[in-house]
Structure 1
């Protein structure tokens, strides 16, 4: 793989240097048109007639108001339901992939909650367009707080699904939140690792140091101005034809009617230039083995550029664990391709491990694996 550019890394979209050319000074006419035709009730998928969807809000431990959608199966009976908290991809919102997952799993009998992470979408938090390995991990536990207080939900049967960059935060949350009985991830990114080391850990110490020097200087500029500067490298508004396949895949999801949403950072906007700092200094997945003896299911596409994150997390995690590779699937296929996303596997996994009356697994001292990436 070509050397990852420092500016591309700082943008969090992490494009290869040859392709990190587009500075977003405004939105394209195509993007403006999409925004005009979409209102606050717009979703990238149609609401199923098998579920109900209710907009809810609640606060996380930092006092940030989280906006979410609660999906319930219409034919749910009178017994409390097993529940799933769902978020991701990185920079996306509940009207995109996480909502699609929530709806699909609600159709299969679960209560599901798709939420906008702090600082994103309809959730509160200032400044906008930032992320945090700590606060966004907390967002999953706040979702568990909310679910456990609902009369329609069995608080002893709660699981989590994390997609893309929020898959790493999902695993991080389950490592410390012992209320969660099982966790599944799709197209996982370890955002701390990729920001600090680049793809496949190719970023040298010299490059990392230079990147941190640039971001550190940017803090003074932001402090003087009073607002954080945006990164200057984003998804291009138009493909040039020489982009790597994974950039094309992201573009075809985030920049077309297929997956575009005006509330999404990845669809429409930029992260702040200083956003990588906390991720580079606070590794996610440090306590991954401590999820045991609860269950981990890691799902990745065979052709996904991110596949190695799931494979190496699987190696580092303690049993019980399962890794599923979807033949011929790319990273973005697992965002919204319902004929590719293994919803039957997810249903079987959570049905078994969130079973009513299932005794809690006996706690044991985890067998620590090797550090991820080593």
Structure 2
């Protein structure tokens, strides 16, 4: 089997699954970096169903999306795990800029790429978005009818989360404060000639002062960290640390929220119908309500799976929680 040069994947590698480094362009000219996984007993003369996969928001293909891609390749699919534009090994002169439009386009670019492979059936292409890329993949599928079936895992609505805060806790006053902070940041970036890093979801202290930082997670977990921060820290800074991951070792550009404030995601997800959608989330996931809200906005055919006992990051890499048989059967039935 071919192997990746300088393989830095952070999950358990299956030596039976062939994987290749690939590159492809989106319609804005960004060059996306991906890993192409081939099914067991791959036969280049056959036509296979394919699944394009990305996420979580701020992760790289060597983390959760690669694990999903490897596991589904073992179940018979051609899969592509890819880095979003400006992140990981994908191009972008300004690094770690989050954009709802570009990240949605990246899924369609991955469909372009995989559909050009002679061993892929263009009429059997699906997509998966993990965490924050779940809201992007649903948005992509709303318009790109080449995506014949779409699934999300612990999906996060990034626009809603940035603007309204987790569990809709951000007040109108805090939104106004944040807009002023972003305006000041734009002046600072313009004066310096380069963007600063920052928090894409701005927290506030008990006195309603915005909390700012140039990195997402410090090297050591603060003693007073809440359960959500602890969960993300243990994944990105702990068991799945990767130096190219925004969440592991850097931050988004501080002005990234501007795009998500102005251009919210999931505006037309009801238009995915009659193509099928699978929404998977964890019983204990702090993001569960977002998955349920999206599910309620979708039209049939749709299915909601709530994994008993699973937290948000359990569905990133914990094999005893991720319902891979469910994902595989969904795509086998619908591609």
Q: 1:50: how far off?
A: 2.5
SS class of match (2:66): helix
Query: Hey, what does 1:368 align to over in structure 2?
Result: none
Partner of 1:274: 255
Aligned equivalents of 1:172 and 1:40: distance in 2? Answer: 34
Q: Distance in 1 between matches of 2:160 and 2:194?
A: 27
Equivalence map 1:21-36=2 (5 Å):
none
Aligned to 2:203: none
SS of equivalent residue, structure 2 residue 252: coil
Paired residue for 2:129? Answer: 162
Structure 2 CA distance, aligned partners of 1:230 and 1:50? 40
Query: Which is further off, 259-268 or 246-255?
Result: 246-255
Q: Is the 8 A contact 2:98 2:253 kept in 1?
A: no
Other-structure match for 1:303: 284
Question: Structure 2 CA distance, aligned partners of 1:276 and 1:240?
Answer: 25
The alignment partner of 1:252 has SS state of helix
Alignment of 1:175-254 (within 5 A): 175-231=142-198, 232=213, 234-254=216-236
**Of 272, 278, 293, the match for 2:274:** 293
Instruction: Out of 156-165 and 44-53, give the one that drifted further.
Output: 44-53
Q: Is the aligned partner of 1:136 residue 2:103?
A: yes
3-state secondary structure, aligned to 1:328: coil
Q: Which 5+ residue runs of structure 1 have no aligned equivalent?
A: 1-38, 355-374
Is 1:62–2:28 an aligned residue pair?
Answer: yes
Residues 222 and 229 in structure 1, CA contact (< 8 A), matched pair in contact too: yes
Give, in whole Å, the separation in 1 of the partners of 2:121 and 2:14: 24
Q: Distance in 2 between matches of 1:351 and 1:100?
A: 19
Q: 1:42 aligns with which of 8, 11, 20?
A: 8
- Tell me what 1:83 maps to: 50
Shift in Å, 1:123: 0.2
Residues 165 and 191, structure 1, Cα contact 8 Å, conserved in 2 = yes
Q: Quick check: 1:50–1:73 contact (8 Å CA) kept in 2?
A: no
Please list the CA deviations of residues 172-194 of structure 1 after superposition, one character each: whole Å capped at 9, or x if unmatched. Answer: 10001010100000010000011
Q: How far apart in 1 are the matches of 2:190 and 2:314?
A: 40
Q: Is the 8 A contact 2:124 2:148 kept in 1?
A: yes
Provide the C-alpha distance between the structure 2 equivalents of 1:40 and 1:212, rounded to a whole number of angstroms: 42
- TM (norm. structure 1) is 0.82
| Equivalent of 2:304 in 323, 333, 343 | 323
RMSD: 1.2
1:280-307 deviation digits (Å, cap 9, x = unpaired):
1111000010000001100000001000
> Contact conserved, 1:85 with 1:159, CA < 8 A, in 2?
yes
Quote the offset at 1:129 in angstroms. Answer: 1.4
Aligned residues: 315
Deviating above 6 A after TM superposition, structure 1's stretches of 4 or more consecutive aligned residues are none
Native 8 Å contact 1:83 1:153 kept in 2:
yes
Q: 1:342 aligns with which of 311, 323, 327?
A: 323
